[in-house]
Each structure stands twice: as C-alpha cells, then as structure tokens.
Amino acid sequence: MFDFQTVIRYTTQHSRHFIGNVFMQKRFSLGTVILLIVVSVIAGSMLNQLISGDTIYDQLHKFGDVLNYTEKYYVEDVDTGKLTESAINGLLNQLDPHSVYIPAAEMQRVTEDFQGSFEGIGIEYQVLADTLLVVAPIAGGPSEALGIQSGDKIVRINDSSAIGITQEGVQKKLRGPKGSRVKVSIVRAGMAGLLDFDITRDKIPIYTVDASFMINGQTGYVSVNRFAAKTHDEFFAALSKLSGEGMKRLVLDLRANPGGYLEQAYKLVDELMPRGRKIVYTKGRRPEFDDEYVSSGAGKFKDVTLIILVNAGSASASEIVAGAVQDWDRGLIVGETTFGKGLVQRQFDLKDGSAFRLTTARYYTPSGRLIQRPYDQDKAKYARAAYERHEVEGDNVTHSEERDSTRPVFKTMGGRIVYGGGGITPDYIVKSDHLTEYTVQLRSRNVFLQFADKYLDRHGAELKSQYGKDPSRFAEEFDVTGAMLADIQALAKAAGAPFKQEEYDKDLHYIKAFTKAFIARGIWGNEGSSRVMLREDGQFQKAMALFPETERILSNLSSLK
C-alpha cells in the first residue's frame, strides 16, 4: 500500500538535505534559512494532520483492527480470508445491484464465458441417470473431428469408470490445457462393444450466436445469447451467410440475453445503421468513463427490415441494441419490457485471482434515455420486479401503455414518444406463455432429454435417413404419437413427477413440442430444436406477422425525419 507517512519522512529528509546544501553554498542569509526551516516544519505538520484525518485510511485501519482482534480473541478459530470476502460483499451490497465480487474459484468460468472459449475436448454434455451423455459435439472442436456423436455415452475416462461421475468430475477430467490428451471409451447405440477415442484437447469456442437460419425465402432468424468477445464476428458471419441465401428481413432474438460487453453491442448495431448515428453514450462521476459511440457507416446490413425480440431477461447490452434501434426507428421491438439495467461495470482484478466489478458509469440511448430501473430496494425485490410487471398485450407503437407512468418522456427520431428509467418497452407487447407446474417438472427432471436419448437409440439412424440435413422438414412433418407421450408420462412418474391430467391437457402442445425439439437437437443441434420451438412461440409468430406493417410504419416514420 502507498504509505503517506513514508512520504512525510522522505520530504523532511530531503528538506534537510536541501537546507544543508544551502548552508554549504552560502546562497541565503541565516534568517532566510531559519524561515525555510519553520515553513518546512509547519508544512510537514499540516500534511501529517491531513493524512491522519483521511476518511479512507481511518476506515481501513478500523477494519484492520476488527479483523486483527477477531483473529486473536474470537472463541473459535476463524478463516480471515472468508471474513474479508464477506466484508467485501457487504461493501458492494451498499452500492448498486450490479457491483459484485467474484471469488477466485469462479473467475475461470466467468473469464471463459466472456472471452468466448475454453480448453477441453469440445462437447455439450449432461450427466443423466449416472451416465455421461454427449448432448452434442461442439462444432470445430476435437470431439467433432474424431466423429463423436450426439447420444454417445462416455463410460470410461483414462481407463477409469465414468459411471456415476458428477458435473464437477466432468470438468476436472475432460477439461485441460490445449495439446494435452485424454482417452475416452464410448457406448454407441447399434454398435457392439466400446469405441475408444484418444482426444487431443484444444481451444473450444463458446458461441454466442446459438442459432441462425432462414425461416422462408426472405426472412432470416438469428439468436444471440450474450455479448462476449466474438459476438460481432459471429453475428456478421451469420448475417453474411443468410444474406447470401436471400435474406431481406431479420428477426433478431435477444430474449433472455443478459448482456455483456458494451463494445460488442455497439459493433452489432453498427452493422445495421447508416453513418453518423449515435448508438449509445456513457456518463460517469469521473470524466474518463464518459464515452460516445457513433455508427461508422461501414455496416453491411443497413437495409434489412428488422424486428427485435426481447423479454424481461434481456438486459444491459441487449437493451443498448434494442434502445438504439427503437430510438432511430430502425426497426420494431416485440415481446415484453426488458430488465432495465443501464449501468456500466469495470472489472478490477485482485492479487489472489479474485475480482470485483464496480459500476463506473451509466449508459444512455441516443434519445437520452437512462434504461436503469430504480434500485432503492433489496436485491431480491429488485430482481423480481422485472418479472412481475403487469403489461397489456397489443399494439404499443405510440407507447400509450406507459402514458400514465412517472417515467421521463423522450421522443424517437421519427417523433414517437418513448420512456426512460425502466427498460425498453416493446412497440408490440406480446406476453410469453406460462407453463404449468407439471411441464416445468418434466423439464427440470430431464424427462424430455431422457426420452430423446432412448428414442434416438432406437430410431436415430432412421430419422437421419428420412430427413437428412433438413431440420425444417422434420419440424413440419414429424408427429409425436400417443405411444411416445405414454413413454413421457412413465418417465415423468419414475422421475418423481406424478401425472396431472388438467395440467397435461393444458400444455399438451408444448409437451409435444419439447419432445420433438429434444429429438431434433440430438440430430441437428440448436437449429433443429429452434425450428421446432419457434412454431409454438407466440412472440416469434407475432413478429413474423408484423413484417408488412413494420415496413409500412418505418417508411412513414422515415418521411418525417
């Protein structure tokens, strides 16, 4: 720590050295030298008094005393590291809900998530009934290159049984530095004996664009699950591919996207905007945290008709994207009001490998809206409030839904009224359906995954032969039969979810969709499951129906600019 007492000592010593030189060089009179000595002593005394009254250092000494006395005299042995972390958490809890401490044990996972890669064998997996199931090999990873498939079951790792392995055990045994090797033995449906694979670990990308495909001849769909280091690159690649397939319209799905890097959000919007348009700006207490992001004009997709899907789980960087698009009347927003996080955090790394994120600025949309909700309540209430709004479904292009609100009023560039201080409220409000408790239990107890695993063991080759590389045709044609549903009910009962007829009847179309989606995911990955679920997705279906009106509304607004 920087010691101000040392500074005082250093200053005093060098003052004496200077005075000695003065005497030796005989440049000043004795009276002048005495005056300099008096001034030096008074200045040193005032500086010492100033330092001793410094509130920060007083409080640091106070905390040090408490920790020291506790370690010495408490009735039981104490873990001072744990006490210090609790104190840090208590400090940050007094600020805002998004200033947080990250223990060293969690930092690797957090870093991997936002850097967009980790080192390992490259599989999505699930520990299912004591068995390590390969849900899907990650594209471009070493497992995919060796031919490991969805539905494979890893039963041995480096000649030790993997039966009964835990989630933590999977991480420990299968992840490792690039270039290191691990041997796995796999059981595959329809094949006798074990299949042995000697895998060389590599850097594995964690994709943030988890699905992108054409819905029809002119409409593309892209889902972005967070904003990490490579999000813009992935987004650009996805749109370039879809544009080559004829895309003129785009549904950009940011639902449940919690945010991430602000710069990546800016780059994504930059692809969709003409030159010279402010996308977002930040303001902090200190001027070095003030910044402004303006579109470069280099974007390749400025003319694509755009609809963005959002919900209460869309936060931070997602709200930057939605807010910029709404403020510039560049597209329409469909779904539910977003979370309402308009604070920018900076991460400070600590010596022991831990870190903390401190809010250093607020961000504002182009019209000047602060999206941050009030947070003068405990964190649990603050988090719940985003999901407990009472919104009226329907056309909200004029934003009359918020008309009686106390939130500040702003205008889009086309003259529409919008509101700040509480997330991005859509131009068309469409609520998501709520599943019954029975269906929630089916999902939480992995019933659909268990069924899909068993079904693909028996029929996977047949489905691949019938539908090939066409998940769209599977989504349209494949039917979930009564016999399949009976198996679902039996698996649910065995998993501790007793049958509830009324709830089953209410959610039957969703139960069929989830069953079908998990089968599709086992063959075609996220594109397969997304194509199935979008057919039952009311928010997405409304977006698709709104494209003609979107083009009309935006055309009229453009004429007003």
DSSP 402: G
- Classify strands 305-310 and 331-335 as parallel, antiparallel or unpaired: parallel
Confidence band of 129 (pLDDT split at 50, 70, 90): confident
Of 314, 379, 365, the C-alpha closest to 99 is 379
Mean pLDDT, residues 50-61: 71
Asked which of 47-56, 154-163, 522-531 is least confident by mean pLDDT, the reply is 47-56
Asked which of 34-48, 79-93, 291-305, 454-468 is least confident by mean pLDDT, the reply is 34-48
Asked which of 204-213, 245-254, 382-391, 552-561 is least confident by mean pLDDT, the reply is 552-561
Mean pLDDT, residues 68-78: 93
Q: What is the pLDDT of residues 355-405, one digit of tens each?
A: 999 999 999 999 999 999 998 877 888 888 888 888 999 999 988 877 777
Task: Give the CA distances from residue 483 to residues 100, 111, 193, 494, 501, in Å, rounded to whole numbers and listed in that order.
Answer: 50, 45, 30, 17, 16
The predicted structure's pLDDT at residue 433: 87
Residue 45 has pLDDT above 50, yes or no: no
The predicted structure's pLDDT at residue 13: 37
Establish whether 153 is a catalytic residue. Answer: no
Angle at the Cα of 48 from the Cα atoms of 47 and 49, rounded to 5 degrees = 90
The predicted structure's pLDDT at residue 127: 86
Helix (H, G, I), strand (E, B) or coil at 500: coil
Confidence band of 100 (pLDDT split at 50, 70, 90): very high
Task: Kindly report the backbone phi and psi dihedral angles of residue 412, in degrees, each rounded to the nearest multiple of 5, phi listed first.
Answer: -75, 170
Asked which of 145-154, 204-213, 470-479 is least confident by mean pLDDT, the reply is 145-154
Q: What is the pLDDT of residues 479-501, one digit of tens each?
A: 999 999 999 999 999 999 999 99
The predicted structure's pLDDT at residue 54: 62
Which listed residue (316, 354, 367, 472) is catalytic?
A: 316
- Classify strands 249-253 and 219-224 as parallel, antiparallel or unpaired: parallel
Of 427, 436, 421, 346, the C-alpha closest to 391 is 427
Helix (H) or strand (E) holding 517: helix 508-534
Which listed residue (253, 327, 453, 537) is catalytic?
A: 327
How far apart CA 84 and CA 223 sit, in angstroms, is 41
- Classify strands 428-429 and 331-335 as parallel, antiparallel or unpaired: parallel
Q: What is the pLDDT of residues 400-428, one digit of tens each?
A: 877 777 889 999 998 999 999 889 999 99
Residue 15 has pLDDT above 50, yes or no: no
pTM confidence score: 0.83
Instruction: Look at 524 and 29; give whichever has higher pLDDT.
Output: 524
Mean pLDDT, residues 85-109: 90
The predicted structure's pLDDT at residue 25: 39
Mean pLDDT, residues 142-169: 89
Residue 17 has pLDDT above 60, yes or no: no
The predicted structure's pLDDT at residue 298: 95
Spatial CB neighbours of 543, under 8 Å, sequence gap ≥ 6: 251, 307, 309, 334
DSSP 400: G
Residue 302 has pLDDT above 90, yes or no: yes
Handedness of CA 232, 227, 517, 393 (dihedral sign): negative
Residue 559 has pLDDT above 90, yes or no: no
Establish whether 79 is a catalytic residue. Answer: no
Which listed residue (153, 230, 278, 341) is catalytic?
A: 341
Residue 180 has pLDDT above 90, yes or no: yes
Confidence band of 135 (pLDDT split at 50, 70, 90): confident
End-to-end CA distance of the chain: 56
* Radius of gyration of the chain, Cα coordinates, nearest whole angstrom: 30
Structure tokens at 464: 């691949």
Instruction: Look at 346 and 139; give whichever has higher pLDDT.
Output: 346
Q: Which amino acid is at 55?
A: T
Length of the chain: 561
Mean pLDDT, residues 134-146: 85
* Cβ contact 425:319 at 8 Å: no
How far apart CA 46 and CA 39 sit, in angstroms, is 10
How far apart CA 233 and CA 207 sit, in angstroms, is 10
- Quickly tell me which residue has 């079951």 as its tokens: 153
* Cβ contact 141:124 at 8 Å: no
Establish whether 351 is a catalytic residue. Answer: no
Of 471, 508, 474, the C-alpha closest to 488 is 508
How far apart CA 228 and CA 259 sit, in angstroms, is 8
Structure tokens at 548: 């003609």
How far apart CA 133 and CA 454 sit, in angstroms, is 11
The predicted structure's pLDDT at residue 557: 67
Mean pLDDT, residues 237-250: 98
Spatial CB neighbours of 52, under 8 Å, sequence gap ≥ 6: none
The predicted structure's pLDDT at residue 550: 87
* Share above pLDDT 90 across residues of the chain, in percent, rounded to a whole number: 66
Q: In sequence order, which ranges of 94-210 are alpha helices (DSSP H)? A: 104-115, 142-146, 167-174
The predicted structure's pLDDT at residue 239: 98
Confidence band of 147 (pLDDT split at 50, 70, 90): confident
Residue 46 has pLDDT above 50, yes or no: no
